């Protein structure tokens, strides 16, 4: 599902016009982006938790040339799904 399809689904589900649904989605994503960038975990009940995680530096080896490269540490967004979402994905009734 791409951005346009998500906006259409939001508009259909809420009865909002498409421009309002697009604004709602952009505002939500902007808030999530700001919270995660400020190192705050965002927990959405029934969906999961988004948080900032530190990936340590590591050495990567190119398989064909065997050249070793140091990959520096970086921050990544992690996601832990809720039990409700996990059961829905695995078709387990709860």
pTM exceeding 0.75: yes
Phi, psi of 26 (to 5 degrees): -65, -40
Determine the pLDDT at residue 81: 96
Determine the pLDDT at residue 91: 86
Strand partners, 52: 77
Q: At CA 13, angle to CA 93 and CA 42, rounded to 5? A: 65
Q: How many other C-beta atoms lie within 10 A of the C-beta of residue 70?
A: 8
Query: Count of domains in the chain?
Result: 2
Which range of residues forms the domain containing residue 48?
Answer: 43-94
Q: State the Cα–Cα distance between residues 47 and 88, nearest whole angstrom.
A: 10
Below-50 pLDDT ranges, the chain = none
Q: Are residues 49 and 33 in the same domain?
A: no
Determine the pLDDT at residue 42: 96
Q: Are residues 33 and 54 in the same domain?
A: no
Determine the pLDDT at residue 6: 96
> Shortest CA distance to 77 belongs to which of 47, 58, 57, 53?
53
């Amino acid at each position: 599902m791409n951005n346009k399809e998500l906006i259409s689904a939001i508009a259909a589900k809420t009865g909002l016009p498409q421009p309002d649904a697009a604004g709602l989605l952009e505002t939500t994503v902007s808030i999530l982006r700001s919270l995660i960038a400020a190192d705050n975990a965002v927990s959405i009940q029934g969906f999961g938790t988004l948080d900032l995680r530190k990936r340590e530096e590591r050495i990567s080896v190119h398989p064909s040339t065997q050249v070793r490269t140091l990959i520096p540490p970086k921050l990544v967004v992690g996601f832990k799904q809720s039990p409700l979402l996990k059961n829905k994905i695995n078709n387990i009734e709860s």
